[in-house]
Chains A and B, each alone.
Chain A
Amino acid sequence: MIGKRTTAHVFPEALVPILRERLTSMVEGLAEIPDEVLVDLLMTVFFAGLETHEGVYGPLRVVFLGRSEADLVMPEGADASAPVYALKVLRFETARPFSIPELVKLGVASADDRLYSAACVVDGRLALIGLAREGPSADADPFIKIVASRPGSLSVRSGRSWHVEYERGTIVTGGEDVVLTSSPVRHALELSAQAAGMEEESVTGYLDAVRALVAKLSAHGRGGILVISREEQPTVPRTGSYRMARDSSITSMLRLAHRIGPREDATSYGFLLRSAFLTEVERMVEEFGALTAIDGATVLSRGLALVAFGVVLPVRSRTVEVAGAETRPIDLEVRGTRHRASALYAADHPGSVVFVASEDGLVTCMLRESDGERVAVWHLG
């Protein structure tokens, strides 16, 4: 995730104050949950996640329900005409211990990305009370979800928003960043979004999708390049690239979802349809993000449609004038081929935003503004 990254290596318990700061207003009853319960929650999922290393078990997904006893959680403001739940708890007859072996065992079930192991506070201690199925209206359910998708990592989310990523000792929070704050990068992305037909009021959804894509680029730990082109149909080299037939874009899904609602008078069918579009956006972000782990660049059109992946960007013997958008000087010669190729691409494609991740998850963003001479570089992590 783009944003602030801690410099010292820490254990996952260091996430507790960040969770409180970011989620207390969203997660029901979080203020009343003691720190030791949250520490137990995070550390147990973290160590259970290490067990997934064998490749036998899938990602571990745990939803923390606090002290909630409801089996069916409906979205706020929902009525009987919109029977679409946010979360449905499939309750065990008797609560099970919240332990590493239990989580690892249930991880087989939670390989489905909608199914979570459900944890609650029972008699002051954590317990597994069942499985919880994320419903069509999971946009803003009031719970903490923790996902350990591979050893050493934790993603904390609420609803469908990521809030904190923990990766091999470092914490990255989704705070102020160049995509969302007022910066040339945000401006360039807004122009691309508008050129792709996004209405002004829904551009935020576009920026959120880009942030989620960059989070995926950073999180897989293999390094990669993600290009958000200024063009609708950017050209990519034929050799070595997996060029895609034209398909639906993230932008078209977001536009359709925005057009349908949410509205107070939305029908349950409209509600479901909107949810289907947003779910598809989530899937596309996951898939495009995963493709960035393949050698070469993943190139998206301005509408965030997949144009190609595995694209070998040319590295020519040419000097690219770069400028640090921060105070640090930029020396691309020491950053390797991936960064030099990205800088060349950015230089040749004004308005296109290029994100480059190294194996340690650090992300660099490059942009040559349409009226600029130099490629500006931002370090995101």
Chain B
Amino acid sequence: MSSPRVLVADDDPAVLEAVADAIEDLGADVVCARSGAELIESFGERGPFDLVITDVSMPWMSGLQAMHSVRTAGLATPVIVMTALKEERVADQVRTLGRDAVLMRKPFALADLQQTARTLLSSRTATGGT
């Protein structure tokens, strides 16, 4: 079976690198994006992906807006939304992305992120998803 493909988006280079390394350790092929614009460009140019991991607050378009629009257009790619924002409405917005959407509030342990990613990736494999 080929390696899962994961798109990671964060405008903080340190977070981006740390998250990308952690996901690569799971054996995944990782594509990095540094803004909402790069996230969507990567989606179009290098997709499809088995999992998206995105920050909320990013230049051009927030990760939540981008993923909500991607969902509206019919793509059910699982997503992990990372945020340092404390607002409860972020959790509500993540819930609207559906069952395969998980909110992780920063700071979090990379091991927890890996476990969540592993769970979402395995559920995609089990269901033969896109």
Contacts and interface: CB of A to CB of B under 8 A. Distances in A.
A255 interface: yes
B41 A260 contact: yes
A270 B45 CA distance: 6
Nearest to B92: A245
B47 A248 contact: no
A269 B75 CA distance: 12
B44 A266 contact: yes
B115 interface: no
B43 A277 contact: no
Interface in B45-71: 45-48, 60-61, 65-66, 68-70
A274 B48 CA distance: 13
B44 A259 contact: yes
Contacts of B73: 253, 256, 273, 276-277, 279-280
B47 A259 contact: no
A253 B40 contact: no
Given A267-B45, A270-B45, A273-B43, A256 B74 contact: no
A246 B69 CA distance: 12
Given A252-B61, A253-B69, A276 B44 contact: no
Contacts of B127: none
B35 to A, nearest CB: 10
B47 A256 contact: no
B37 interface: yes
Contact of A248 (B37, B41, B44, B68): B68
Interface residues of B, number: 22
A279 B69 CA distance: 12
B2 interface: no
A17 interface: no
Contacts of B66: 252, 256
A261 interface: yes
A261 B65 contact: no
Most buried by A among B41, B44, B70: B44
B47 A197 contact: no
Given A197-B61, A259-B37, A253 B72 contact: yes
B69 A277 contact: yes
A253 to B, nearest CB: 6
A52 B65 CA distance: 41
Contacts of A255: 61
Interface of A: 197, 245-248, 252-253, 255-256, 259-261, 266-267, 269-270, 273-274, 276-277, 279-280
Given A270-B45, A273-B75, 7 more contacts: A256-B61, A256-B69, A259-B37, A259-B44, A260-B43, A267-B44, A274-B44
Interface of B: 37, 40-41, 43-48, 60-61, 65-66, 68-70, 72-75, 93, 96
7 contacts: A197-B61, A247-B72, A252-B68, A253-B73, A273-B44, A276-B75, A280-B69
